[in-house]
Structure 1
Amino acid sequence: MADLARRSGLTEHLIVGLQSGRDWVDRHSVLCSLAGGLHLDPLDLTGQPYPPHGEQHVTVRAAAWYLRDHVFQSGPRTPGHRQRGHGGLLSATEEVRNAQATGDERALALALPPLLAAADQSVSSEGGGRPEIVTARNFAYAAAAGLLRRLGYRDLAWSLLHRARPAAGDGQVVEVEEVRLLTSMGMLRAAVDRAEQHLAAAQSVALLCAAAFAHACAGQRLHAERRLDEAEGRTSGEADAAEVTVARTGSAMQCGAWEQVLEQQEATAAMPPARRADLLLLAAGAWARCGQISRAVDRLAAAEKKAALYISLDPLARELLHALRARARDATSARELERMAGSFGVK
């Protein structure tokens, strides 16, 4: 026990609590530290990728296998989809953006194959080097890598991501996803270093937020706060503001600042559904840490209602569900948790 505590940087008290079920993992920083101490990949502790559960999950998993074929095919072509031209590329990009904003993983999975087809066709055709074409293709590959990352196919995500060609004016979408991917893999030092390297060239709101979260997971709260302040100063619209709010709240969660997390929960009213779900999930974790189990159940259920598959495939949401089921004492909360367990596909 002492040896694991030393290797992971976690306290023996926390490790004993996790082993006995008295505590649970609801922070990515703890997950990465524990995995590092055990010489495992974080995926080995979360069980990702999860077995398909329900028609929507099956559809998303099928898209993941399609993306796998896209990675290993020879050359930038995507068979099986009608060629859509530049107009099709813009239309497909908008479909993916809408799916991302709503947290609709099924719609995203269905929209990505035609987007990749249109992006590859546009790049290989005459005029494919135009900035708007390169930007759209980078967005397509970053969006596909992000879906694979959330599903647990991180090696595939990495391979797909590095087919993109980062360019000026694309919002640093490739760089952002690279930092998120390294963070999710538990490579926190690499994530921080890569984020700072990319920030030396440009500082998009999304990259500043990804850098802040990586710093927070690495236990560098002051660095995280500085990057979040910089991101807040660069916001230009509701989408940017929501990104910063969720990043600030997620960073606070990594540092165990439960009260700061709860201060942000009312901001969900002005957010896109996916960001609302993120914030509600964080609030659920904070309420659980404060011993307010009924409120935690309420927030977790609200998060699932906003973006069901997006939340049910989140490993920390699933861990929180297990923790709440062991702690719920009132019948209403117990029934709601059992309903969610069925929806999540957990026993």
Structure 2
Amino acid sequence: MDDGHEIGRRLREIRSWRQLSIRAVAELSGLSWGYLAKIERGEKPVTKRSVLDALARSLRVSPTELTGQPYPPSDPPSSDAHAAVAGVETALAEYELGTDPEVTPRPWPELVAALRHLNEVVRARADYAEQGTIVPGLLAELHATYVRDPRRRREALVGLLHAYHAAAVLTRNQGVRGLPLLAVRLAQTVAEELGDPAWLGVTAWMRGHVCGHLTRRLAYQLSVRAADELRPHLAESNAAQVYGMLQLNAALACAAQGRAEETRAHLAEAEDVAARLPEHRENFGYLYFGPDNVGVWRVSLATELGEGPKVAELARGVRPEAIPAAARQAMFYSDLGRALVAERATREEGIRALVKAESIAPQRVRHNVFVRETVANLLTTARRDAGGRELRGLAWRMGVAPTG
């Protein structure tokens, strides 16, 4: 176990390696040196993307160099998820569209069932350990089907897009560098072969999503450009759903840069599109885009903008349980919790929200850097009678050692 203040330790180490004073880093990042000193001492958490991005830019490192990801596994499922990454990496390196991987694929109905299980069961419950077990074999079988069965070529391409999306999500949320972008690049090749504007939009959304922590500017440009390309197709429900998700991606990129007005403009556009969707529609790309998902993102964006307990007002009426995706539900409660613990009056309510998030999607929440920073800070500042038992249990399961 560590004490949870990974960013503070890494900031001090990298700053020393760069031979920069804390005042120099403050000037480069636009943050006060007093605030940075508190981060280094573990007295202040880093719970906003904008702060993490500013520190990474000033030190000329990837944000993952500051977060220390991937974290050492603290429980069997996390260990299994980490171990599964090796198989995914091999599959991403080995298989190429149009090249026969020389495996014998299952009959097509069985592959369809396997894809449905991946998307509707495994990914829905954010089980990265099982995802990592399933994805390599599916990639091999789908590539083989694409080469050998011309009748199933289009369906195999769509299946590959789902499998590559799962690979990108798994590796990104395990904090593995390089592999998420490789998975997205391979998915982009598949989408180009497919030639469907909506699927091309999905791969643009995926790329913006996985590269956002590296460069908010690029994530924003990718999202806006892809959304503009989908405008002529908005009468189609599938394209409209992707367009809405791209608007949410653009909103997050703006929020991480502190551009509140633009954040709200992109969020409003997504809300408008969601309101106009037909009631009965395909859940295209398993993006779960709709009014409920926009409500979840509204809470996340307000948390990123630092709106604190006001986020609780925005959360009223949001139905995260209406989205059959554990990761999306968990992010709602973790972002709500991070916002509520900012004030003493709502701290206990915030801790309960964090615990609920972890119970919904433990593999997702335990590796979220902002949740870890929040929990570590609570351990050093909150009184033991303020959610103490729940907080210490959460910290223990995350591998963050309670102090004091």
Question: Above 0.5 in TM-score?
Answer: yes
Indicate the residue corresponding to 1:341 in structure 2. 395
Q: Distance in 1 between matches of 2:272 and 2:87?
A: 40
Indicate the residue corresponding to 2:17 in structure 1. none
Q: Which amino acid aligns with 2:322?
A: A
Indicate the residue corresponding to 2:138 in structure 1. 115
Contact 1:85/1:121 (8 A) holds in 2 = no
1:90 aligned to 2:140? no
Mean Cα displacement is larger for which, 267-276 or 247-256? 267-276
Residue-by-residue CA offset, 1:167-211 (whole Å, 9 max, x unaligned): 4232733211100111122x1111111222222212522222122
Alpha-carbon offset, residue 308 of structure 1:
1.1
Q: Distance in 2 between matches of 1:188 and 1:310?
A: 22
Alpha-carbon offset, residue 88 of structure 1:
3.2
Q: Structure 2 vs 1, CA of residues 332 and 254 (structure 1 numbering), >3 Å: closer, same or farther?
A: closer
Residue-by-residue CA offset, 1:209-256 (whole Å, 9 max, x unaligned): 122111211222222222222222222469323332222222212211
Indicate the residue corresponding to 1:30 in structure 2. 51
Select which of 128, 138, 147 maps to 1:124: 147
Residue-by-residue CA offset, 1:86-132 (whole Å, 9 max, x unaligned): 32332222222222332232333333233323322232223277443
Q: Distance in 2 between matches of 1:128 and 1:25?
A: 52
Q: Secondary structure at the match of 2:300?
A: helix
Indicate the residue corresponding to 2:8 in structure 1. none
Q: Which amino acid aligns with 2:54?
A: S
Select which of 140, 147, 162 maps to 1:139: 162
Q: Distance in 2 between matches of 1:92 and 1:101?
A: 14
Contact 2:95/2:143 (8 A) holds in 1 = no
Listed as ranges, the matches of 1:244-255 within 5 Å are 244-255=294-305
Alpha-carbon offset, residue 13 of structure 1:
4.1
Give the number of the structure whose alpha-carbon radius of gyration is greater: 2
1:294 aligned to 2:294? no
Contact 2:227/2:247 (8 A) holds in 1 = yes
Q: Secondary structure at the match of 2:247?
A: helix
Q: Structure 2 vs 1, CA of residues 112 and 23 (structure 1 numbering), >3 Å: closer, same or farther?
A: same
Unpaired runs of at least 5, structure 1:
none
1:243 aligned to 2:293? yes
Select which of 306, 322, 327 maps to 2:376: 322
Q: Distance in 1 between matches of 2:103 and 2:381?
A: 49
Q: Distance in 2 between matches of 1:174 and 1:128?
A: 24
1:9 aligned to 2:22? no
Q: Distance in 2 between matches of 1:190 and 1:257?
A: 25
Contact 1:128/1:134 (8 A) holds in 2 = no
Indicate the residue corresponding to 2:244 in structure 1. 205
Q: Distance in 1 between matches of 2:78 and 2:156?
A: 31
Q: Which amino acid aligns with 1:148?
A: T
Alpha-carbon offset, residue 82 of structure 1:
5.7
TM-score normalised over the length of structure 1 = 0.90
Indicate the residue corresponding to 2:174 in structure 1. 151
Listed as ranges, the matches of 1:6-85 within 5 Å are 6-73=27-94, 75=96, 83-85=105-107
Listed as ranges, the matches of 1:264-275 within 5 Å are 264-266=314-316, 267=318, 268-272=320-324, 273-275=326-328
Q: Distance in 2 between matches of 1:117 and 1:73?
A: 9
Contact 1:142/1:173 (8 A) holds in 2 = no
Q: Secondary structure at the match of 2:124?
A: helix
Alpha-carbon offset, residue 333 of structure 1:
2.2
Q: What is the aligned residue count?
A: 346
Unpaired runs of at least 5, structure 2:
1-21, 231-241
Indicate the residue corresponding to 1:283 in structure 2. 336
Which aligned segments of 4 or more residues in structure 1 are displaced greater than 6 angstroms?
A: 77-81
Contact 2:104/2:144 (8 A) holds in 1 = no
Alpha-carbon offset, residue 336 of structure 1:
1.8
Contact 1:24/1:320 (8 A) holds in 2 = yes
1:256 aligned to 2:256? no
Q: Structure 2 vs 1, CA of residues 343 and 81 (structure 1 numbering), >3 Å: closer, same or farther?
A: farther
Contact 1:171/1:204 (8 A) holds in 2 = no
Alpha-carbon offset, residue 307 of structure 1:
0.9
Q: Which amino acid aligns with 2:336?
A: A
Residue-by-residue CA offset, 1:61-93 (whole Å, 9 max, x unaligned): 122110111122264579797622432332222
Q: Structure 2 vs 1, CA of residues 80 and 281 (structure 1 numbering), >3 Å: closer, same or farther?
A: farther
Q: Structure 2 vs 1, CA of residues 86 and 227 (structure 1 numbering), >3 Å: closer, same or farther?
A: farther
Select which of 173, 183, 187 maps to 2:212: 183
Q: Which amino acid aligns with 1:104?
A: D
TM-score normalised over the length of structure 2 = 0.78
Q: Which amino acid aligns with 1:283?
A: L
Identity of aligned residues (%): 25
Indicate the residue corresponding to 1:307 in structure 2. 361
Contact 2:147/2:153 (8 A) holds in 1 = no
Q: Which amino acid aligns with 1:100?
A: R
Q: Which amino acid aligns with 1:112?
A: V
Residue-by-residue CA offset, 1:123-153 (whole Å, 9 max, x unaligned): 2223277443322212211221121111111
